[in-house]
Structure 1
Amino acid sequence: MISKGGCPKTMLSIKDALEAVEGRWKLLILFSLAEHPKRFGELSKSVVGITDKTLSRELKLLEANKLITRQVYDSFPPKVEYSITEHGISLEKVLDELHFWGLLHRSKILKDS
């Protein structure tokens, strides 16, 4: 339930959470990685519409927030793989709720237009 006054601690925790997953792409990247670890090219294909430059930036931010890990394998050519962390997996309920809300929202918008 959303309170009307807004507790400062609650506001701060919501701000922190939003900063960790802000933007158009981070949750979609996490959703893609929840399936299985992926290389950069696989991620680029699975997150439709993202540019390589944006994907690279978002991956660095997700790694800084400990939501994903970047594993570099000692091989030729070098292989880099991205995986979701346990901390990232903890967003599963948020993603599920956002998915269900998105379905309701889309239905309402299409119905009312």
Structure 2
Amino acid sequence: MNILFKESSRVSLVVTPTDLRGSFQKLCSIAQTMMNIDVMSGSETVVFISKSAKLCKIITADERGSVVIVRRLNKGTFERIMVKVEDSSAQPLSVYEQEQYLNGIRLYEKCSRYW
């Protein structure tokens, strides 16, 4: 499945699990207060992942209105991405990386050994 967004849209993946029972307004509020992302600006897309990593919600907006897309994988889970403690809990993705991620394709290889 391909979900097309504007190339100029900045895509952020929220790496911390989120309670996805809320509406667009709740998720938009989380993006604004926790990550300083203004979804209503029309140039931001935010991807939230559930605790089980089987479900995600994508929120965005444009001049005509707001959009919430729910994606559930039939098999497997969405990749869990780890970040350093001092980094933001939202990681930027290209439109291509977003497409790969939402189709359940791994963005990063697993580390086979520890340093």
TM-score, length-scaled by structure 2? 0.32
**Structure with bigger RCO (C-alpha 8 Å, 6+ apart):** 2
The structure with more strand, counted as a fraction of residues: 2
The structure with more helix, counted as a fraction of residues: 1
Q: Which structure has the larger Rg? A: 1
TM-score, length-scaled by structure 1? 0.32
